[in-house]
């Protein structure tokens, strides 16, 4: 799956996604209630729900800190993944993880009866984090909080377990932990599918 790819003309699409998300945040802050009503991801049974929200919610954020950490992760993990996979495969992966995270969140809200909107690129970012950990398991990641170095594979495993724990226990309410796991799950499934397909293509 890490076969060489030709460089795409123009800026990396990861940086374009970053820029579009920042612009979307500015628009969100200028018309908060209207944007949230139309483009945040609402539960299926809610009057505000619309199918396009499975993508649009990933370009909205709940504050500067939320935006910064997601965009920092997109920059840190997205660029090397895009260089390895190419623009087309990177884009497919990013949006599959985003939509997959949204679908999982819809299931969770339907099962729990919770009524609240979901926003943020975290589901797609968690998918990128998983991909990076699988592609470069022994690369060292310098955490921001706390500022300590850690191998990518341990960071991914630890973050996944911690997110599952938070989701099951209700710790850190207001964070869509299961959506994060959904992004990783759909990303993992897509990586497995691509790996099998590429293997079959290489057979005589």
Name the percent of the chain lying above pLDDT 70.
82
Distance CA 65, CA 31 (A): 19
* pLDDT one-digit tens code per residue, 51-72: 999 999 999 998 898 898 899 8
Domains, in order of start, for the chain? 13-199 (1.20.1540.10)
pLDDT tens across 171-188, in order?
555 667 788 889 999 999
Tens of pLDDT along 83-113?
999 999 999 999 999 999 999 999 999 998 8
Structural Rg of the chain based on CA atoms: 17
Going by the DSSP 8-state scheme, the letter that residue 204 receives in this structure is: -
Has 122 been annotated as catalytic? yes
User: Which one, of 59, 192, 179, lies nearest residue 131 by Cα?
Assistant: 192
Residue 153: the pLDDT is 79
Mean pLDDT of the chain: 85
Q: Minimal CA–CA distance to 119: which of 37, 30, 15?
A: 37
Note the pLDDT of residue 4.
Answer: 43
Residues in CB range of 165: below 8 A, 6 or more apart: 171
Average pLDDT over residues 123-147: 84
Q: What is the mean pLDDT of residues 155-172?
A: 63
Contact 181, 126 (CB under 8 A): yes
Instruction: Single out the catalytic residue among 56, 61, 177, 180.
Output: 180
Q: Give the per-residue pLDDT at 144.
A: 63
How confident is the model at residue 49, as a pLDDT?
Answer: 96
Active site residue 177: no
Inter-CA distances, 194 with 2, 97, 188, 189, 202, Å: 10, 14, 10, 9, 12
Instruction: Out of 1-10, 37-46, 104-113, 132-141, pick the least confident.
Output: 1-10
Beta strands in 58-146 (DSSP E): 140-142
Interval 130-151 mean pLDDT: 81
Q: Which of 56, 122, 173, 177 is catalytic?
A: 122
Query: How confident is the model at residue 2, as a pLDDT?
Result: 46
Beta 149-151 vs 140-142: how paired, if at all?
A: antiparallel
Q: 150: helix, coil or strand?
A: strand
Q: What is the pLDDT of residue 141?
A: 77
Q: How many CB atoms lie within 10 A of CB 171?
A: 11
Region for 170 from its dihedrals, namely left if φ exceeds 0, alpha if ψ lies in -120 to 50, beta otherwise: left
């Amino acid at each position: 799956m890490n076969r060489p790819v030709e460089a795409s003309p123009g800026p990396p699409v990861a940086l374009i996604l970053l820029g579009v998300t920042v612009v979307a945040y500015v628009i969100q802050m200028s018309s908060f209630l209207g944007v949230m009503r139309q483009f945040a991801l609402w539960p299926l049974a809610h009057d505000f729900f619309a199918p396009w929200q499975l993508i649009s919610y990933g370009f909205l954020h709940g504050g500067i800190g939320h935006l910064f950490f997601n965009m920092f992760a997109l920059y840190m993990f997205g660029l090397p993944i895009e260089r390895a996979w190419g623009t087309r495969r990177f884009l497919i992966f990013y949006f599959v993880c985003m939509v997959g995270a949204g679908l999982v969140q819809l299931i969770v809200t339907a099962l729990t009866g919770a009524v609240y909107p979901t926003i943020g690129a975290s589901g797609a970012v968690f998918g990128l984090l998983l991909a990076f950990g699988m592609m470069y398991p022994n690369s060292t990641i310098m955490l921001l909080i706390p500022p300590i170095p850690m191998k990518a594979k341990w960071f991914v495993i630890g973050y996944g377990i911690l997110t599952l724990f938070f989701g099951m226990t209700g710790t850190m309410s207001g964070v869509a932990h299961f959506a994060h796991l959904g992004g990783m799950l759909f990303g993992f499934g897509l990586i497995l599918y691509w790996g099998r397909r590429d293997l079959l293509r290489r057979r005589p």
